[in-house]
Amino acid sequence: MSISVPPTQAPAGRPRLGVSSCLLGERVRFDSGHKRDGFVHGDLARFVEFVPRCPEVAIGLGTPREPIHLVRTGSAIGARGVRSGREAGERLAAYGRDQAADLGDLCGYVFKSKSPSCGLERVPVYGENGRKTGDQTRGLYAEQITRALPWLPVEEEGRLHDPGLRDSFLIRVFTLHRLAAVAPGGEAAPGDLVEFHTRHKYLVLAHDVDAYRRLGRLVAGAGREPRAALFVDYRDGLMAALSSPARIPRHVNVLQHLIGYLRGRLDPDDRAELLARVEEFRAGRLPWIAVRTLLRHHFRRYPDPFVNRQVYLEPYPDELAATWPGPARA
């Protein structure tokens, strides 16, 4: 069962996510088809507000349409119709720049893989002779979005079926949403930022100990720089920290710290069971969510005000979690 966040801590609304329209089942593909993704269109849609975009339709290519591919001309990469050679690259890039300026309030973006406009990686590049060059790059629209919004959590739909990659993406999406809730207009009051940083202590420590300390110094200096600048510095540092894999040894260290708050409260059998579950997690036989669920159970029985404020116990809705293997071992 999912632990409830107290009403005073729950951010209003849902995270807003950009998404390639075809992943929601919209028939915007070159062949008038779609690429509906079960997780994106199903489970994820229950917890986020999607902002769908199809850049190729948006620039007037129409549906159905001639497919395009990326073409290298000298040092530049553009997009052309595969039969007509009609140029579309400049329009796609311009649309990406325009959308980046309008979508700065997003908490994440799910792109269609392998698309010459939306792919995040491994999009093939062709030569002017129509043959693959062997090079691979990012789609032209996605390139503009990620360049203008480098802090934004982004993923391709296929990678979200990998448990570790899904976990990393969702942690960043929902953390960014919580941060936005305490910084309306991009400015956080010093006290609100201190509270936010405190609630995210163990989540950040599981990813990057040094980053947690750097962020702590930023928070400690709140009030000495403009609030808007502080928010940007903190947001960028936080997203960078959470982009680092939360590996099993770091999780175990955090779990052991949290178990310390139950010292003297659990009976010997419950404590032995909890420690055994942590060891199973360390060995890769049990998912992180299973250990967190057991911890939440014990902290409901023996509440601790500090621990129950920790986002680590539920960084995003449990219903969105994928199955094991989970975090990296090393």
**First CA to last CA across the chain, in angstroms?**
30
Return the beta strands (E) in the chain as ranges: 16-20, 49-53, 68-73, 76-81, 108-111, 123-126, 132-137, 154-156
Whether the per-residue pLDDT at 74 is higher than 60: the answer is yes
Q: Stretch 291-303: mean pLDDT, rounded?
A: 95
Mean of pLDDT over the chain:
92
Residues 22, 114: Cα–Cα separation, whole Å: 13
The share of the chain scoring above pLDDT 90, in percent, equals 86
Q: Are strands 132-137 and 123-126 parallel, antiparallel or unpaired?
A: antiparallel
User: What does the buried/exposed string (b/e) look like for 269-279 if buried means 16 or more CB atoms within 10 Å of the residue's CB?
Assistant: ebbeebeebbe
What pTM did the predictor assign?
0.92
Q: Stretch 288-295: mean pLDDT, rounded?
A: 92
Residues 254, 269: Cα–Cα separation, whole Å: 22
pLDDT tens per residue across span 181-227: 999 989 988 999 999 999 999 999 999 999 999 999 999 988 788 99
Q: Where residue 323 falls among pLDDT bands split at 50, 70, 90?
A: low
What is the pLDDT at residue 4? 31
What is the pLDDT at residue 322? 76
Residues 23, 119: Cα–Cα separation, whole Å: 13
Q: How many CB atoms lie within 10 A of CB 314?
A: 17
Q: Stretch 80-101: mean pLDDT, rounded?
A: 96
CB 319 within 8 A of CB 2: yes
What is the pLDDT at residue 13? 87
What is the pLDDT at residue 177? 98
Q: Where residue 261 falls among pLDDT bands split at 50, 70, 90?
A: very high
pLDDT tens per residue across span 158-184: 999 998 899 999 999 999 999 999 999
